[in-house]
Amino acid sequence: MIPYARQDVNEDDINKVIKVLRSDFLTQGDVTVEFEKAVASYVGAKYAVAVCNATQGLHIAVMAAGLNEGDLLLTSPNTFVASSNVGLYQNAEVDFVDIDEKTYNMSPSALKDKLKTIKKTPKVIIPVHFAGQSCDMKEIRQIAKDSIIIEDCAHAIGGEYMGKKIGCLEYSDMAVFSFHPVKIITTGEGGMVVTNNKELYEKLILFRSHGITRNKDLMNNKDMPAWYYEQISLGYNYRMTEIQAGLGVSQMKRIEEFLIRRREIAKKYDEAFKNHDIITPYQDEKGISAYHLYPVQVNNRDRIFNNLRNKGILVNLHYIPVYLQPHYQNIGFKQGLCPVAESYYEKALSLPMFYSLTNENQDIVIESLIKELK
């Protein structure tokens, strides 16, 4: 069996987690703060807020943006359902902007067209850096000056755009990372929101922990005793444990090694499929992908998918356009909304892509796929 993705946990990772298990704090301790600092300084952001998964991260990010009933959230259809579900959690309206036919990311020109046809300014826009390649953030920021932009970086830690790390927030307000085991680094379940804005940061902290504050400046009642705390808004318990954060701290030390191997695997696939009827992932020269995924386009996708799976090559598909899901159809979305995303989906196939994929197994994937084309 060759999976499409898997984590890599080594002895250092295990020892760090054991150390946390023997320590005084299993949650709300220093290791979570250490992990937040490690991610913030790596991507070049000022503040970071660790949560249990990226879905929670996206949720508190849209809450911090003030997204509520009557507001509009725009995202890409070529994503995991979480990117738009968080809008529904807030009873907001959600809509989808079609993708670019080369990068499969939110198309800036489709965004421009969308903003012309809809009557209101979106409160939030969530571009998704699909497969680890950055969206054209500079363009998106220029087109959407009046919206809060939250980057979905679930695929993209370590990727670069215009010479800087994805998540540096040059053209956005917040960015959210995922540490699910299939992603670039893992904490089991885990996520993180980064921002450079102190006000947003304070809201994120508040929504992560029930809406409760011990910050006297934020309280309604002044001059209260030391034990006093206030719940000043409705929040959740979205806190990451120290155990998860310990794994995260250790995995962050290995991130360059992970990225180098992923890029090596991508390069080998690129070369191998050059003269075959396979469209390999286009790389925009403005950035460098983190290669969470290696999505190709093939004819007869369903037959190829089944035959490879039957051989133990666990290829996958990213993504069914979100609005084609029955839940989204039930709330009124129609086929045809994003034609480029729909035609991409018809031929999409994600090949095995992970740090510990061996050369021998990658050769098996390559040979088996090429055989399917004949």
Helix, strand, coil shares of the chain, percent, nearest 5, are: 40, 15, 45
Pairing relationship of beta strands 124-126 and 72-75 according to DSSP bridges: parallel
Q: Which of residues 324-363 bind ligand PLP (CB under 6 A)?
A: none
Least separation in angstroms between CB 187 and ligand PLP: 9
Task: Give me the residues paired with residue 161 across strands.
Answer: 164, 287
Of 53-61, 93-101, 296-304, 321-329: span binding ligand PLP (CB under 6 A):
53-61
Least separation in angstroms between CB 322 and ligand PLP: 10
Of 77-85, 242-250, 271-279, 295-303: span binding ligand PLP (CB under 6 A):
77-85
- Considering just the CA atoms, what is the radius of gyration of the chain in Å? 21
Of 47-55, 94-102, 203-211, 249-257: span binding ligand PLP (CB under 6 A):
47-55
For residue 239, give the amino acid letter: R
In DSSP notation, 323-339 reads: GGSHHHHHTT--TTSSH
- The two tokens of residue 126 are 């969530």
Q: Which of residues 168-187 bind ligand PLP (CB under 6 A)?
A: 178, 180
For residue 101, give the amino acid letter: E
82 touches ligand PLP (CB under 6 A): yes
Q: How far apart are CA 288 and CA 277, in angstroms?
A: 24
Q: Which of residues 222-281 bind ligand PLP (CB under 6 A)?
A: none
C-beta separation of 56 from 207 below 8 A:
no
C-beta separation of 111 from 97 below 8 A:
yes
Q: How many residues at the interface with ligand PLP, by CB under 6 A?
A: 14
C-beta separation of 350 from 318 below 8 A:
yes
Least separation in angstroms between CB 180 and ligand PLP: 4
Q: Return the SS3 of 174.
A: strand
Q: Is 271 left (phi over 0), alpha (psi -120 to 50) or beta?
A: alpha
Of 48-56, 271-279, 334-342, 360-368: span binding ligand PLP (CB under 6 A):
48-56
Of 40-48, 75-83, 160-168, 274-282: span binding ligand PLP (CB under 6 A):
75-83
Least separation in angstroms between CB 44 and ligand PLP: 21
84 touches ligand PLP (CB under 6 A): no
Q: How many residues does the chain have?
A: 374
Q: How far apart are CA 117 and CA 113, in angstroms?
A: 6
Selection from 336, 17, 366, 287 nearest residue 127 by Cα: 287
Of 49-57, 197-205, 222-230, 356-364: span binding ligand PLP (CB under 6 A):
49-57
Q: Which string of x and - marks every residue 139-158 that binds ligand PLP (by CB under 6 A)?
A: -------------x-xx---
The smaller minimum CB distance to ligand PLP, of residues 132 and 246, is found at 132
For residue 22, give the amino acid letter: R
Least separation in angstroms between CB 319 and ligand PLP: 8
- The one among 7, 53, 241, 316 contacting ligand PLP by CB under 6 A: 53
C-beta separation of 150 from 125 below 8 A:
yes
Least separation in angstroms between CB 83 and ligand PLP: 5
The smaller minimum CB distance to ligand PLP, of residues 77 and 246, is found at 77
128 touches ligand PLP (CB under 6 A): yes
Query: Residues interacting with ligand PLP, by CB under 6 A?
Result: 53-55, 79-80, 82-83, 128, 152, 154-155, 178, 180, 191
